[in-house]
């Protein structure tokens, strides 16, 4: 399974947002959302979350504890309501600077969740030459 595409939605007054219908079935009944080191959130299926956590737990304690605190401490376990929405907790919204409009971006095994303004800035500032060079270097 690979999440692809991008979709825009808006938070309602209760901080609920629709998960794009194209992603819902693959996410399953329970999934996880967490913050990342950049200014976005990531959504993982339960299976991919478990695999991700296993890798984090293999890190040396000297650095692993801090990473666990940040990623696991910031995580939220989610289930869709009857309308296909989730409530995103305030601390996650604050981290991603999400006010109202949200862009869900399929990124393989995860879905990235961006504030619309930050996503638009990222799109406008892409370094296509650098990306082309990296793809060429890796034979892609």
CATH code where residue 92 lies: 3.40.1550.20
Average pLDDT over residues 2-8: 95
pLDDT of residue 28: 93
Has residue 1 got a pLDDT over 80? no
Range of the domain at 50: 6-137
pLDDT of residue 70: 92
Cα–Cα nearest to 32, from 13, 66, 8, 56: 56
Residue 1 lies in a domain: no
Residue 29 lies in a domain: yes
Has residue 107 got a pLDDT over 90? yes
Residue 61 lies in a domain: yes
How confident is the model over 32-88, as pLDDT tens digits? 999 999 999 999 999 999 999 999 999 998 888 999 999 999 999 999 999 999 999
pLDDT of residue 15: 92
| This model's pTM is above 0.75 | yes
Q: Is 139 left (phi over 0), alpha (psi -120 to 50) or beta?
A: left
Hunting for tokens 């030459």 — which residue is that? Answer: 129
Residue 97 lies in a domain: yes
Residue 86 lies in a domain: yes
Residue 20 lies in a domain: yes
Residue 60 lies in a domain: yes
Are residues 4 and 70 in contact, defined by beta-carbon separation less than 8 angstroms? no
Q: How many domains does the chain have?
A: 1
Q: How many CB atoms lie within 10 A of CB 62?
A: 7
Are residues 16 and 81 in contact, defined by beta-carbon separation less than 8 angstroms? yes
Q: What mean pLDDT is reported for the chain?
A: 94
Distance of CA 120 to the CA centre of its chain: 16
- List helix spans (H) across 58-89: 61-71
Q: How confident is the model at residue 21 (pLDDT cuts 50, 70, 90)?
A: very high
Has residue 126 got a pLDDT over 90? no
């Amino acid at each position: 399974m690979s999440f692809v595409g991008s979709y825009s939605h808006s938070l309602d007054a209760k901080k609920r947002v629709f998960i794009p219908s194209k992603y819902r079935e693959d996410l399953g009944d329970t999934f996880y959302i967490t913050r990342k080191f950049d200014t976005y959130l990531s959504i993982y299926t339960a299976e991919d979350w478990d695999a991700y956590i296993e890798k984090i737990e293999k890190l040396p304690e000297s650095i692993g504890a801090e990473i666990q605190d940040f990623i696991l401490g910031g995580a939220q376990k989610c289930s869709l309501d009857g309308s296909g929405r989730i409530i995103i907790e305030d601390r996650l919204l604050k981290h991603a600077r999400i006010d109202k409009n949200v862009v869900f971006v399929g990124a393989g095994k995860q879905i990235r969740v961006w504030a619309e303004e930050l996503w638009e800035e990222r799109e406008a500032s892409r370094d296509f030459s650098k990306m082309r060079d990296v793809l060429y270097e890796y034979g892609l």
